[in-house]
């Protein structure tokens, strides 16, 4: 017989905490993306005038393609780990599991879009 806890979704404190966690992880991923774009534009100078994408140097492209998904991956795994720890304490773990899966899906979507950046040059 399973000792699974009741799947409670009505815990406002846990929901608020998970929402803040997801917002901070997404904000950090966006900051990494912005820093990569600004650095790529500053490093390239006028060399990217005829390119279709503003960031044309190889290191900037790699950071732009790998950095934000890495942040989202670490954030998603962190949320899934917190879900496991909350489950052990018989808390509202499905909220954290949902945040973890949402961050992992966001990582895959970003990787799909950034694959074109890596292939284009």
| pLDDT, position 103 | 98
Q: What share of the chain has pLDDT > 90, as a percent? A: 45
CA 86 to chain centroid, in Å, comes to 21
User: 93 and 86 in contact (C-beta within 8 Å)?
Assistant: yes
If you write DSSP's letter for every residue of 86-106 in order, what string do you get?
A: HHHTTS-HHHHHHHHHHHHHH
* pLDDT 10s digits, 20-66: 999 999 999 999 999 888 887 776 666 665 666 666 667 778 888 89
What's this model's pTM, rounded to 2 decimal places? 0.84
| pLDDT, position 92 | 86
Extract the tokens encoding 91: 């808390």
Cβ-count burial 39-65 (b if 16+ within 10 Å, e if not): bbeeebeeebeeeeeebbbeebbebbb
Calculate the dihedral angle through the C-alpha atoms of 52, 55, 61, 63, rounding to the nearest 10 degrees: -150
11-20, 61-70, 112-121: the lowest-pLDDT one: 112-121
User: 55 and 40 in contact (C-beta within 8 Å)?
Assistant: yes
């Amino acid at each position: 017989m399973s000792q699974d806890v009741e799947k409670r979704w009505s815990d406002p404190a846990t929901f608020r905490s998970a929402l803040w966690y997801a917002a901070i992880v997404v904000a950090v991923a966006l900051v990494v993306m912005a820093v990569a774009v600004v650095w790529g534009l500053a490093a390239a100078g006028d060399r990217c005038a005829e390119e279709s994408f503003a960031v044309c140097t190889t290191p900037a492209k790699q950071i732009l393609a790998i950095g934000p998904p890495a942040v989202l991956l670490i954030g998603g795994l962190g949320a899934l780990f917190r879900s496991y720890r909350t489950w052990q304490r018989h808390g509202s773990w499905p909220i954290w599991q949902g945040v973890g899966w949402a961050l992992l899906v966001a990582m895959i979507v970003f990787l799909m879009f950034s694959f074109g950046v890596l292939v284009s040059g």
